[in-house]
Chain A
Amino acid sequence: MSAIGAKPAAGAEVNTTASIIGLILTLIIIGALYVITKDISMTMALIGVIIGGVLVGFCVHFMPVGGAPAAMGQAPGIATGVAMLAAGAGLAGLFGGAWAAELGMMVAIVAGAVGGGLMMAITCLMVSVIYVFGMGIPAASGKSKIDPLTGDTQVEFKSQGTEGHGLPFISYVGGVIGGLLGGAGGTLVYIELLYLYEKELPALLQAPMPEDVKIVAVSLAGIFAVGIFLVSSVLAAYNITGTTEGPADPKFKRFPRDIVASLLASAICGIFAILIVAL
């Protein structure tokens, strides 16, 4: 994304002790919320927010993003920043999910997922169109010899001096799956908070007409959803050190440690987002 020539510092190994501490801290935070509020629905909302945050972190691992080299056809993937591409897709999904919020949680989450997936499908298609019809470059993966979905060989389509280019089919599918997961995750965070705020805010603000406060609930849930989305997606971007080819990339195998990190990060952000109306 930026011109800084960053050298990935993180390796692939899992820090077991830290992961266990992370899981325990997550459980402590969930327990703490229950002890403070004595309210099972709020605790369930926090768990929903955490699941949403984890989905967001997981979705980033599917995004085929090549960063700066992709803009020169030197590396496969989409030429942009991974956290922000995930945010673009996930927030477009959140837009659809928020629109369907009144039709129930299930419809809203699936609508959010489809919104994110559609955004990524169109974006990835246009990336392929530009590579093939604008630059005359066929797609080639740099890290896998054969596309695991189509069985296409990749190596001979790699032009000289590059690590591959374009979007092989597996990366395209990865992008769509990433959009689906990101849209669902962002919407889940939003919906959980929205329902909670719609219930609690009128009393807190002593509003005469509960219906009037809805806009405040929407706004508050929206900004919290954006905040948790950015936190979770940036952590995931750190996990894959900024670039990935999607599900076929060896970096994809790093996802377990990001799931733990997302669990803890969404838990700590989520507890404050919920306590704002609880205390």
Chain B
Amino acid sequence: MPRVSLTVNGKAVTADVESRTLLVQFLRENLRLTGTHVGCDTSQCGCCVVHVDGRAVKSCTILVQQAEGADVKTIESLAVGDTLHPMQEAFRQNHGLQCGFCTPGMIMTAVDLVARKGHDLDDKTIREELEGNLCRCTGYHNIVKSIAAGAKAMAATTTAQAAE
């Protein structure tokens, strides 16, 4: 079996895998990082979104071997100790989740969105950018609210960190 080496949530990992192993299978089954979910098989639901080298990708649509040498971040990496990431906190404050299944993908997508489009996100932009994330519970209303609030909170955190 081929060997693959990558960095996941800051830790170097190496494993022998079948060629057909998807990144999401590797995360869930080899590393037991089960926060990344699988909600479809056609790359549409976005439950499996993780960051590969700083960009949001659907981990169900990339072979783990394509991530050879890459820096992968999953939902489990966002909180620092007991301190939630501002986007996580925004989802909690704004009731941006119900069953929680799509939530890790939503949050990882949202963090990527802020990295690309900044901290001042309007309703239309957020809704367009959620093209690849399905939620069956919330009607998206509170997810959109959460992301707008989370984006602003991330700016405040960045500013605070810069001032330190």
Q: Please say whether chains A and B are actual partners in one complex.
A: no
Question: Footprint of A on B, CB under 8 Å?
Answer: none
